[in-house]
Amino acid sequence: MRVSIFGLGYVGAVCTASLARRGHEVIGVDVSPVKIDLINSGRSPIVEPGLEELLGEGVRSRRIRGVTDGYDAVQNSDLSMICVGTPSKSNGDLDLTFVEKVAGDIGLALKEKPDWHLVVVRSTVLPGTVRDLVIPILEEVSGKRAGEGFGVCVNPEFLRESTAIKDYDQPPMTVIGELDERSGELLAELYADLDAPLIRKPIEVAEMIKYTCNVWHATKVSFANEIGNIAKSMGVDGRDVMDVMCVDNKLNISRYYMRPGFAFGGSCLPKDVRALTYRANQLDVRNPLLSSIMSSNDEQVTHAFNIVTGYGRRKISMLGLSFKSNTDDLRESPLVELAEMLIGKGYDLKIFDRNVDYARTHGANREYINQKIPHLSNLMDSDLRGVVEHGDVVVVGNNDELFETIIADVPEGKRVVDLVGFMKTTTNDVLEGICW
């Protein structure tokens, strides 16, 4: 395939070399004559192990050439990758000056190109950037419509400095955010030889994935550092602790807890977060990340409350009171907290939870329910249909399989708030997800 790459910095140079090694013809574009001279002489414009050798091979085989003329590059390629930098502004926002400039240059070349062409944004940009900024520039300058005269994709990179060549060859995944199927198909061909999951999603999802991965990596570093600091203060080697933690790939390193939704609860997580941060504070070990966990969890309960009350309707049905299905444990249940917030504001509330309903008459938690939350116990009803009929707003609070039918067939005239993730779609006129 013939590929033009705009921006020969870290990402652009690595992509240029790696694509050429796979037999593609690559035209590198940059405004810096110095970079172009380096590329054309087979030398690397950046320090990266193995990169200069690959660039040299590409130049000698005539698969790589560098130019400062973006028009020439577009006319002589099938696909253009935008790999320019998106540095931070002083306020933390992205500076998209380079992206805008390159989009305009590509659009100008597309105006006079008779063939369909694919534009791929590999630069790291926030969700909405491509659809609201890049595509309008391309369309205005070229006079063509995206999806007709040219295609558009987002293709986030997962390259780490010092291991970029290996990361390109062995990526954890290849993510394509596609404007349309034709665009996604062509870009997928470029990665057909890579042994990695190929994931094709809408453009905005691909834009968000890059940020999510990087912020998660940053969070993991800070998390391990804070655990290490606390462990050391108690005479424990934090490296041993984290090594053992990473052995568990069923829960600790898995997707089990990595699902957007409602707040966590139960008898373990809240108390253990509090206990560890309390001990750290006793030992004068600062832990800003760990100390923020409970307040972040509280914010999710408030977020749910704001959604439920935002409709301006007073009758509320809550399906689920325990923090998850198949348990009657109400200790630290965020649904109990949500219910109490609604009662406190005078909402007319009815609650259904078959496990809690059993517990309040037969189970081991009977005493807790009757003594600690009698005000909620009195609002419980064992008739699921009757509870649903009561509310103008129905809150699906835990993952009891009985509640899936409410999501699949929303009763007429009601709004359903899904705190679990039963919904197959995103928020619409009758269903609202807490994070989707």
Residue 349, beta-bridge partner list: 316
Confirm whether 213 is a catalytic residue: no
Rounded Cα distance, 280 and 246, in Å: 22
Q: What is the CA radius of gyration of the chain?
A: 27
- The residue among 206, 220, 230 whose CA lies nearest residue 121 is 206
Catalytic, out of 83, 246, 268, 435: 268
Q: Tell me which residues are annotated as active site.
A: 268
